[in-house]
């Protein structure tokens, strides 16, 4: 059947046909590799066999076999489905797939169609480069392969829009040969089963997962195995509520053994939060030690809470301080204080202005302003302000 080569090298030859080739051989030297001392998974033959057997047996009982592209599966049908399924869920894809195959039943028809016609079938599916690449690839396939999709991972990968995983899917599901895949479902299953640490977008993690996939994909029935892995990922080993009791490999799953399957895969590190700064006026009544507070507007950060008068620049703060009392300069520094919100970091620069009794009394008495004495509870405080006031009051005592 399949000319099965286990642990097939993942090397790629330079890609002449691909218009936008640019895939370099890794050729990463020294440092990056050495720094990464994650343990490479070396699975015993028994482990691999046990895993594949369980997954294949699960496929026979529960695997999906009625998806549109599984009927009369062919390299072409699998190709189209795989492209549509990139970053797109099955239920979304199905109607698009039906319409597409209706209009473009063969590579030749697709190649001859206009790009407008092809993209029209893609409207609403997103990632429109997929449609353009698909069309371009169809023309390459007609010109260079006589209208038949190539049947090796290496050749398929040279076509625009086809990466290693999609190529592996076409080979295993469409051609019937051995090839590993690594899509989001497989990644999640493997990350959990082997408690692979780190975010799987990282190169080192990807590499490790590919090695696992290569090792686990059995020589026979690779297509069924791959389909089953995707099905397990999509229907059993789900992101938030994995149904471990229904999983064919739960007995050997390390994440489950540790009691927390959802701790893997690790999340993508959150994007660096923007940094902002502000200046806060700490106006202290020299005679009483009271501090001027200002109520924040109802909307926005710290809405309705008591805070210190806040400014976007030190200049604005200085102006306000001088308005209170002409003799406040120089202002004493007191911070800075760091505070993190869900969406940004804030650095607060508090500056102390000591106000005379006379000036203090001249301040307008409004609902938004209050002179605060240690121990008072005018209302809610913004957390960093409360901390700052505590510290300040202690130092004054």
Judged by CB under 7 A, the number of residues near DNA is 57
Distance CA 329, CA 326 (A): 8
Tell me which residue of 337, 359, 362 sits closest to 348, measured CA to CA. 337
Separation between Cα atoms, residue 163 and residue 86, nearest integer Å? 11
Q: Does the footprint of DNA cover residue 86 (CB under 7 A)?
A: yes
Q: Which of 82, 157, 214, 290 is catalytic?
A: 82
Alpha helices in the chain (DSSP H): 31-35, 45-62, 75-84, 90-103, 107-112, 115-120, 129-145, 153-157, 164-169, 184-193, 203-216, 222-235, 254-257, 314-324, 357-362, 383-396
Task: Tell me which of 9, 11, 22, 71 binds DNA, using CB under 7 A.
Answer: 22
133 binds DNA (CB under 7 A): yes
Cα atoms found within 13 Å of the Cα of residue 75, Cβ hemisphere only: 18
Among 77, 107, 178, 183, binds DNA (CB under 7 A): 183
- Report if residue 67 touches DNA, rule: CB under 7 A: yes
Rule CB under 7 A: choose which of 234, 305, 320, 363 binds DNA.
Answer: 234
Do 228 and 58 touch, CB atoms closer than 8 A?
yes
Q: Based on CB atoms, which residue is closest to DNA, 99 or 268?
A: 268
Q: At what angle do helices 222-235 and 45-62 cross, to 10 degrees?
A: 70
Examine residue 88 and tell whether it contacts DNA (CB under 7 A).
yes
* Number of residues that make up the chain: 397
DSSP letter string over 64-108? Answer: ---SGGGTT--HHHHHHHHHHTTTS-HHHHHHHHHHHHHH--SHH
Q: Give the one residue of 17, 43, 108, 204 binding DNA; rule: CB under 7 A.
A: 204
Q: Per CB under 7 A, which region of 5-13, 64-72, 306-314, 324-332 contacts DNA? A: 64-72
138 touches DNA (CB under 7 A):
no
Q: Is 26 in the site for DNA (CB under 7 A)?
A: no
Question: Is 157 one of the catalytic residues?
Answer: no
Q: What are phi and psi of 382, to 5 degrees?
A: -65, 140
263 class by beta-carbon count within 10 Å (0-12 exposed, 13-18 middle, 19+ buried): middle
| Minimum CB distance to DNA smaller for 52 or for 83 | 83
Q: Which of 162, 249, 284, 331 binds DNA (CB under 7 A)?
A: 162
Binding mask 296-335 for DNA (x = CB under 7 A): ----------------------------------------
Interface with DNA (CB under 7 A), residue from 203, 322, 327, 340: 203
Say whether residue 44 binds DNA (CB under 7 A).
no
Kindly list the catalytic residues: 82
The residues of the shown chain that bind DNA, judged by CB under 7 A, are 18, 20, 22-23, 32, 64, 67, 69, 81-82, 85-92, 124-129, 133, 160-167, 169, 183-185, 187-188, 201-204, 227, 230-231, 233-234, 239-241, 267-268, 270-271, 342-343
């Amino acid at each position: 059947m399949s000319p099965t080569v286990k642990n097939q090298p993942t090397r790629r030859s330079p890609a002449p046909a691909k218009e936008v080739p640019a895939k370099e051989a890794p050729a990463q030297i020294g440092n990056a590799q050495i720094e990464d001392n994650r343990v490479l998974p070396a699975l015993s033959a028994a482990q691999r066999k046990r895993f594949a057997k369980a997954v294949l047996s699960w496929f026979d009982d529960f695997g999906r076999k009625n998806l549109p592209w599984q009927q009369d599966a062919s390299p072409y049908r699998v190709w189209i489905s795989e492209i549509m399924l990139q970053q797109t869920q099955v239920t979304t894809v199905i109607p698009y797939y039906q319409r597409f195959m209706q209009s473009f039943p063969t590579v030749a028809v697709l190649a001859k169609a206009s790009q407008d016609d092809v993209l029209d079938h893609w409207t609403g599916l997103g990632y429109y480069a997929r449609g353009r690449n698909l069309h371009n690839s169809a023309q390459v396939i007609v010109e260079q392969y006589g209208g038949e999709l190539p049947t090796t991972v290496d050749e398929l990968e040279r076509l625009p829009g086809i990466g290693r995983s999609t190529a592996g899917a076409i080979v295993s599901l469409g051609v019937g040969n051995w090839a590993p895949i690594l899509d989001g479902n497989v990644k999640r299953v493997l990350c959990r089963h082997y408690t692979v640490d780190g975010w799987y977008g990282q190169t080192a993690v990807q590499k490790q997962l590919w090695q696992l996939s290569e090792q686990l994909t059995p020589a026979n029935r690779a297509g069924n195995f791959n389909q089953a892995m995707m099905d397990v990922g999509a229907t059993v080993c789900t992101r938030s509520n994995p149904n471990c009791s229904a999983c064919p490999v739960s007995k050997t799953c390390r994440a489950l053994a540790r009691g927390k399957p959802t701790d893997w895969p690790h999340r993508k590190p959150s994007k660096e939060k923007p940094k902002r700064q502000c200046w806060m006026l700490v106006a202290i009544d020299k005679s009483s030690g009271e501090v001027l507070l200002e109520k924040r507007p109802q909307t926005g950060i710290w809405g309705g809470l008591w805070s210190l008068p806040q400014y976007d620049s030190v200049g604005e703060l200085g102006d306000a301080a001088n308005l209170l009392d002409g003799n406040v300069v120089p202002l004493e520094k007191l911070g800075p204080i760091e505070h993190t919100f869900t969406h940004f970091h804030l650095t607060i620069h508090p500056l102390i202005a000591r106000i005379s009794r006379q000036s203090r009394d001249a301040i307008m008495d409004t609902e938004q302003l209050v002179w605060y004495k240690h121990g008072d509870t005018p209302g809610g405080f913004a957390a960093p302000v409360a901390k700052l006031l505590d510290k300040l009051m202690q130092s004054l005592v």
